């Protein structure tokens, strides 16, 4: 064999040995790689499962998020609609509030008018109640005065009835009394003419003032009742001048004396004058 053949044979052997070494190494590396690959594959499988679980979670979360977004969009739309509705309601409420303020102003004005009317009515009521109380008091006083007047009238009537019963006796005494009066008046006139004195200078009759309660002209010359009696020391025979203001009307002489009144015969009457109830009577002018 030639040296080239030997070289190629040795070279082939070397290459074969190298190839075998490489192959063995490759087999070993392949086995390690395969083990690593299997481990990595298992790891990747676990990672994939984890990722798939995460993806599933994310997908579920995405689905929920999309549902939430859809719900939020619906809620947003509903909120916008509600906002628009509330805006419209607000405008309506503003209009209603303005109308209400106007109504409140009118009601306040009406209430003030009612309050003023109430105050006036209360004032009128107070005045009316006071007037009613005053009227009731006046009526009570008037009724009491009427009762007193009726009692006085009854007493006067009784006195006049008694006086009427005594008229016959008075008529009998009239002539004698007239004669006596004429004689006394003549004596007094003579005394006054001779001395210049007045009747009041020597008269023993006290100064008594009274008023005429009643007048009766049923029997001549007439009878009067005066509101002065024993309580004012009036005695039978006292003569009272009867007048109204400055108008002299006549003279009356007491015949019957009672506690607070007296009955008198009209002894002189001024022509043209009428003696009336309420005229004044006095023992001295």
Domain-embedded: residue 100? no
Q: Residue 147 above 70 pLDDT?
A: yes
Q: Could you list the residue range(s) of the whole structural domain that residue 214 is in?
A: 167-282
Has this prediction a pTM greater than 0.85?
no
27 part of a folded domain: no
**Percent of the chain at pLDDT exceeding 70:** 83
- Residue 70's pLDDT is 86
Within a domain: 220:
yes
How far from each other are the two terminal CA atoms of the chain, in whole angstroms? 215
Q: Is 237 within the bounds of a domain?
A: yes
pLDDT category of residue 278 using cuts at 50, 70 and 90? very high
Radius of gyration of the chain from its Cα atoms, rounded to whole angstroms = 74
Would you say 240 and 266 are in contact if contact means Cβ atoms under 8 Å apart? no
The reply to whether 224 falls in a domain is yes
Looking at the structure of the chain, the number of domains it has is 1
The CATH code of the domain that includes 214 is 2.40.10.170
| pLDDT tens digits along 80-108 | 888 899 888 888 888 887 887 888 688 68
Is the pLDDT at 30 greater than 50? The verdict is yes
Cβ burial of 3 (10 Å; 0-12, 13-18, 19+) is exposed
The residue with tokens 């040296």 is: 3
Pairing between strand 239-244 and 280-282?
Answer: antiparallel
Domain contains 9: no
- Residue 14 domain-assigned (yes or no): no
Output the pLDDT for position 52. 84
Residues 6 or more apart from 255 whose CB is under 8 A from it? 163, 166, 170, 236, 263, 264, 265
Is 197's pLDDT higher than 60? no
Task: Using alpha carbons, list the distances in angstroms from residue 53 to 43, 46, 60, 255.
Answer: 15, 10, 10, 150
Using a pLDDT cut of 90, give the percent of the chain over it.
Answer: 27
Q: Give the pLDDT confidence of 107-143 residue by residue, as tens digits.
A: 688 778 878 888 887 988 888 798 789 878 978 886 8
CA distances to 47, 49, 165 from 43, rounded to whole Å, are: 6, 10, 162
- Continuous segment of H or E residues that includes residue 208: none
Does residue 253 lie in a domain region?
yes
């Amino acid at each position: 064999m030639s040296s080239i053949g030997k070289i190629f044979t040795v070279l082939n052997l070397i290459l074969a040995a190298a190839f075998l070494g490489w192959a063995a190494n490759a087999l070993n590396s392949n086995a390690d790689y395969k083990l690593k690959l299997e481990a990595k594959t298992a790891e990747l499988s676990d990672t994939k499962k984890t990722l798939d679980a995460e993806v599933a979670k994310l997908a579920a979360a995405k689905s929920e998020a999309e549902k939430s977004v859809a719900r939020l969009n619906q809620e947003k739309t509903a909120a916008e609609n509600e906002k628009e509705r509330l805006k419209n309601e607000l405008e309506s409420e503003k209009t209603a509030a303005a109308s209400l303020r106007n109504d409140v102003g009118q009601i306040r004005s009406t209430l003030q008018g009612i309050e003023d009317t109430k105050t006036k009515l209360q004032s009128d009521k107070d005045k009316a109640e006071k007037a009613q109380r005053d009227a009731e008091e006046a009526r009570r006083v008037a009724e009491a005065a009427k009762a007193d007047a009726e009692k006085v009238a009854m007493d006067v009537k009784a006195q006049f009835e008694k006086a009427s019963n005594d008229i016959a006796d008075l008529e009998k005494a009239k002539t004698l009394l007239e004669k006596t009066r004429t004689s006394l008046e003549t004596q007094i006139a003579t005394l006054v003419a001779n001395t210049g004195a007045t009747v009041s200078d020597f008269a023993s009759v006290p100064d008594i003032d009274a008023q005429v309660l009643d007048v009766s002209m049923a029997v001549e010359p007439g009878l009067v009742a005066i509101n002065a009696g024993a309580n004012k020391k009036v005695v039978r025979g006292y003569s009272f001048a009867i007048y109204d203001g400055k108008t002299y009307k006549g003279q009356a002489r007491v015949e019957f004396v009672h506690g607070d009144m007296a009955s008198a015969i009209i002894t002189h009457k001024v022509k043209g004058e009428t003696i009336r109830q309420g005229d004044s009577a006095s023992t001295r002018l």
